[in-house]
Structure 1
Amino acid sequence: MRHRHTRGEPEAAMAVRTQLPAPPAWMRWLPVLYVIVLLLLEPLTPVDWPVSFALIAVPLVTAFAHGPLVVAGATVFAVGFEGVLAGTPCCAGRSVGYLWDRHYVASYICTALVGALGTILAAHRTRRDRMLADVRFVAEIAQRVLLRPVPHRIGNLRLESLYLSAAAEARIGGDLYEAVPTPYGVRLLIGDVRGKGLLAVETAAALLGAFREAAHDEPDLPTLADHVETSMDRRAMQLGGTELGERFVTAVFAEIPSDGHVVRVVNCGHPPPLLIRPDEVRELDRGNSGPPLNLGMLVEDLYHVDIYDFRPGEELLLYTDGITETRDSSGTFYPLLERLRSWGPLPPEELLERLHSDLLAYSADGLQDDTAALTVCLVADEPAASAGPTARERRSGEPG
Structure 2
Amino acid sequence: MARLGAWKSVGKWSRLLPAVLLLLAALIDLSTPPTVSAAALYAAAILSAAPLLSLRGTVLTGVFALFVDWMMFRYFGYRWSAIAISELIMVATVTVIAGFLNRVLYHRKMQLESARDIAAAVQRAVLPRPPDRIGPLRFAARYEAARLDAQIGGDLYAVVDTPFGVRCVIGDVRGKGMGAVRAVTVGIGTFREAARHEPTLSGLLERLEQAVVLEAQQSGNLTELEGFITCVLVEFPWRSNEVRLINRGHPAPLLILGDTVQYVEPSRRGLPLGLGALDAGSGCIDSMTFPDGATLLLYTDGLTEARDETGTFYDPTSTCTEHRYDGPDDLLDALLADHSRHTGGQRADDTALLVITHAPNNS
Relative to structure 1, is the Cα distance of residues 58 and 358 closer, same or farther in structure 2, using a 3 angstrom cutoff?
A: same
Alignment of 1:322-333 (within 5 A): 322-333=302-313
The one-letter code matched in structure 1 to 2:112 is: L
Alignment of 1:169-188 (within 5 A): 169-188=149-168
Relative to structure 1, is the Cα distance of residues 125 and 286 closer, same or farther in structure 2, using a 3 angstrom cutoff?
A: closer
Distance across 2 between alignment mates of 1:191 and 1:224:
14
Query: Quick check: 1:27 aligned with 2:14?
Result: yes
* 1:340 Cα deviation from its structure 2 partner: 2.5
The one-letter code matched in structure 2 to 1:33 is: V
* 1:344 Cα deviation from its structure 2 partner: 5.6
Structure 2, unpaired ranges of 5+: 1-9
Q: TM-score, normalised by structure 1?
A: 0.83
Distance across 1 between alignment mates of 2:315 and 2:183:
30
Q: Percent sequence identity over matched residues? A: 35
Given the alignment, which residue of 120, 123, 146 partners 1:143?
123
Distance across 2 between alignment mates of 1:129 and 1:135:
10
Whether the 8 Å contact between 2:232 and 2:248 is mirrored in structure 1 is yes
The one-letter code matched in structure 2 to 1:106 is: S
Given the alignment, which residue of 173, 197, 212 partners 2:177?
197
* 1:129 Cα deviation from its structure 2 partner: 0.7
What is the match of residue 254 of structure 2? Answer: 274
Q: Which runs of 4+ in 1 moved over 6 A?
A: none
Query: Quick check: 1:82 aligned with 2:62?
Result: no
Distance across 1 between alignment mates of 2:187 and 2:342:
32
Distance across 2 between alignment mates of 1:281 and 1:74:
59
Query: Quick check: 1:165 aligned with 2:152?
Result: no
Relative to structure 1, is the Cα distance of residues 108 and 364 closer, same or farther in structure 2, using a 3 angstrom cutoff?
A: same
Given the alignment, which residue of 173, 182, 196 partners 1:216?
196
* 1:125 Cα deviation from its structure 2 partner: 1.0
What is the match of residue 112 of structure 1? Answer: 92
The one-letter code matched in structure 2 to 1:168 is: L
Distance across 2 between alignment mates of 1:305 and 1:238:
30
What is the match of residue 283 of structure 2? Answer: 303
Count of paired positions: 353
Task: Please give the secondary structure, in 2, of the residue aligned with 1:359.
Answer: helix
What is the match of residue 389 of structure 1? Answer: none
The one-letter code matched in structure 2 to 1:166 is: A
Relative to structure 1, is the Cα distance of residues 365 and 330 closer, same or farther in structure 2, using a 3 angstrom cutoff?
A: farther
Distance across 1 between alignment mates of 2:138 and 2:183:
28
Task: Please give the secondary structure, in 2, of the residue aligned with 1:204.
Answer: helix
The one-letter code matched in structure 2 to 1:42 is: D
Deviations 1:46-101 (A, max 9, x none): 2232446632333212112124444334323322332222113xxxxx4xx21111
Query: Quick check: 1:242 aligned with 2:222?
Result: yes
* 1:230 Cα deviation from its structure 2 partner: 0.9
Given the alignment, which residue of 232, 257, 261 partners 2:212?
232
Deviations 1:245-277 (A, max 9, x none): 321000000011121000010111111211111
Q: TM-score, normalised by structure 2?
A: 0.91
Relative to structure 1, is the Cα distance of residues 381 and 47 closer, same or farther in structure 2, using a 3 angstrom cutoff?
A: closer
The one-letter code matched in structure 2 to 1:161 is: A
* 1:283 Cα deviation from its structure 2 partner: 1.7
Distance across 1 between alignment mates of 2:187 and 2:60:
54
Which protein is richer in helix relative to its size?
2
Task: Please give the secondary structure, in 2, of the residue aligned with 1:323.
Answer: helix
What is the match of residue 45 of structure 2? Answer: 58
CA root-mean-square deviation: 2.0
Deviations 1:264-305 (A, max 9, x none): 101111112111111411122243232211111112223011
Stretch moving more, 196-205 or 147-156 = 147-156
* 1:188 Cα deviation from its structure 2 partner: 0.6
* 1:134 Cα deviation from its structure 2 partner: 1.1
Deviations 1:146-169 (A, max 9, x none): 111111111211111111121111
Task: Please give the secondary structure, in 1, of the residue aligned with 2:349.
Answer: coil
Distance across 1 between alignment mates of 2:274 and 2:320:
32
Task: Please give the secondary structure, in 1, of the residue aligned with 2:302.
Answer: coil
Alignment of 1:307-322 (within 5 A): 307-322=287-302
* 1:118 Cα deviation from its structure 2 partner: 1.5
What is the match of residue 245 of structure 2? Answer: 265
Whether the 8 Å contact between 1:139 and 1:172 is mirrored in structure 2 is yes
Distance across 1 between alignment mates of 2:41 and 2:129:
54
